[in-house]
Amino acid sequence: MKRLPPKDQLTMGIHALHSLLLHAPDRILHVFTKPTETQKRKGALLDLCKEKGIPVSFVSLETLDHMAGSDSHQSFVAHVQGRHFYDVDSFLERIEEESKAIVLMLDQIFDPQNFGSILRTAECLGAAGVVWSKNRGSDLTPVVAKASSGASEWLPLIRISNLAEAVTQFQDDGFKALATTLAPHSQDGFKFSFHQKTLLILGSEGEGIQPLIQKRADSLISLPMQGKIESLNVAQAAAVFLTLYQMQNGK
């Protein structure tokens, strides 16, 4: 191979590739795998690539590791079309006809598994998009794409530089911004009345949400924990908040 595709145009793993082949095969430019993949499940994937007319190249394990920057590719790396990233204005334009929308904003989520997992959950539970800053979080690496199960290729992604400014832009467009954080005056998420247009801000377990962003939020909310553990993992918390929102505003 002359030149490796850039890492932010790659996805990897059996599940993510399968999901893409089923739902967005036109996004796949090229699939890379090892020779002599005789496992049944992997053979079925190659047949599907053939059926969809997607070129497949056989490369060494070392090349796969090197392309993905990870050894958890399960022998499959796919070059996908350059992802489209929205800025806040173009995203708001995209959803301007919608009377209801929940958008997730991620602050300081550096763990790629959590990031990917949140993208998958957001897609499954009907979030309109996910906003994050490349300066304050993980980049969209192959590990993230794999954990997202395909969501990274079709969920609207709003990648920006200034999160605090974005909060205000959403608010100016009619959104209420909720910072999910355990503070003395946080409201109980289970009893909260969600606005039809909600920007839900999630921070990392260690770092939380930046004070600057918390200050701009319309409300602080948290989930009362019923046991001894202080908090859910952030991807689980995203699932719970999306469920609570959809219970009130679901289609």
List residues near a copy of itself by CB under 8 A: 19, 22-24, 117, 120-121, 123-126, 149-151, 154-155, 190, 223, 225-233, 235-236, 239-240, 243-244, 246-247, 250-251
Minimum gap (Å) between residue 21 Cβ and a copy of itself? 12
DSSP string, 60-105: -HHHHHHHHTSS-STTEEEEE----EE-HHHHHHHTTT-S-EEEEE
Please, which residue, 4 or 125, has the CB nearer to a copy of itself? 125
Total residues found in the chain within this entry? 251
CB 1 to a copy of itself: min, Å = 30
CB of 239 to a copy of itself, least distance (A): 4
CB closer to a copy of itself, 2 vs 228 = 228
**Distance of closest approach, residue 88 Cβ to a copy of itself, in angstroms:** 22
By the 8 A CB rule, do 148 and 19 touch?
no
- On whether the CB atoms of residues 104 and 127 are closer than 8 A, the answer is yes
Task: Tell me the C-alpha to C-alpha distance, in Å, between residue 170 and each of 10, 61, 87.
Answer: 30, 45, 11
Nearer to a copy of itself, 74 or 133 (CB): 74
Give min distance, CB of 244 to a copy of itself, in A: 7
Which residue, 24 or 59, is less far from a copy of itself as judged by CB? 24
Token pair for 239? 């699932």
Nearer to a copy of itself, 185 or 251 (CB): 251
Amino acid identity of 33? T
180 in helix, strand or coil?
Answer: strand
